Amino acid sequence: MSAAAPAPTASTDEYEDTLRRLSHASVHRSFDPFKDIAWDHPDFSVDPTDERWVLPAGLDPLGGHPWYKSQPLEKQIEIGLWRQANIMKVGLQFENILIRGIMQYVFKAENGSAEFRYLTHEATEECHHTQMFQQGVNQIGADVPGMPRWLRRLSPLLPLAAGRFPVAFFIAVLAGEEPIDHTQKQVLRNSDSLPPVLSRIMEIHIAEEARHISFAHTYVARNAPKLSRWDAYLVSLAFPVIMRVLCDAILKPTREFRETFDIPEEVVRELYWDNPESRRFLSDLFGDVRMLAEQSGLMNRTSRRLWKALKIDGRPSRYRGEPSVAFRD
């Protein structure tokens, strides 16, 4: 495996220039979910018989499994609706945690801070995303729980990490954003038949998340090299654990989902993440953050073993956003 070359740490002027450009983009390229999505238009209604809600094989681990394909069409659609709704619910819950963490982080920002301005723009956009995702869930009409129960219970404490452990917090931001962003991009690239409401939600989310992911990458790459040797070592070990735990929270079916649709336990084990195709899907999700870990000095001999043990190792991306098709050697 070839390691990505360490990225040079941006100077303060370069960093603040990046923040100003991101802030400018937030002002001039932003969305309002109740202006930019025609929720009441007939084309944006959710039809429980619409076959476009069937999970696409190759883009969702469950969608290509023989068990799913053997179900009646009506059940395949119902499962697809529930799954898309739950991913949106997890997304809005995660972004709620992110908003609270941002507020915790900027509370002590100095006057004139470029970080304060950009991050409050980001928090505003994330508020809009929570509205958009919740309206999407409401439109579908599935009473989904979102995150696993244990993570929902832990959620009041997680934003506190932004003040004390900001590098780890923004790694967690990427752990929440990258799997959804990667999956949505793959769906839009490879599917020409999506329900309009779903494709519009994905288009808006991808457009604005690009800024948020860019900031988190820049923040970690800039600040990880400033950590003490011991702190950097601990963060390097936490990095893959955070990635895998939050990925499972977003993508792995919850107990409620499995029980609602009588999904056999062996099917879930195989899909998440025992068979070769699902392992490849899992690895593909983290190419960009493996690149970040290499570039920011958070990939070492011990942490590399941990990435492998958690089944999220692989070649780092050559550039951020590299498609999975190009990504595979």
Structure tokens at 265: 């336990």
CATH code, domain carrying 231: 1.10.620.20
Q: Name the domain count of the chain.
A: 1
Residue 7 lies in a domain: no
Range of the domain at 55: 12-327
- pLDDT tens-digit readout, 292-318: 999 999 999 999 999 999 999 999 999
Structure tokens at 87: 């991913």
Kindly provide the b/e burial profile for residues 228-251, where b requires at least 16 CB atoms within 10 angstroms of the residue's own CB: eeeebeebbbbbbbbbbebbbbbb
C-alpha to C-alpha distances, 179 to 48, 54, 237, 247, 306, nearest whole angstrom? 27, 20, 20, 6, 19
Residue 6 lies in a domain: no
Scanning the chain, the segments in alpha helix (DSSP H) are 12-28, 66-69, 73-106, 114-140, 149-154, 161-164, 166-190, 196-223, 229-251, 255-260, 265-269, 276-285, 287-295, 301-309, 324-327
Residue 107 lies in a domain: yes
- pLDDT tens-digit readout, 127-181: 999 999 999 999 999 999 999 999 999 999 999 999 999 999 999 999 999 988 8
pTM: 0.90
Residue 1 lies in a domain: no
Q: Say yes or no to pLDDT of 115 above 70.
A: yes
Do 312 and 280 meet the contact criterion of CB atoms below 8 Å apart? Answer: no
- pLDDT tens-digit readout, 47-86: 999 999 999 887 788 998 999 999 999 999 999 999 999 9
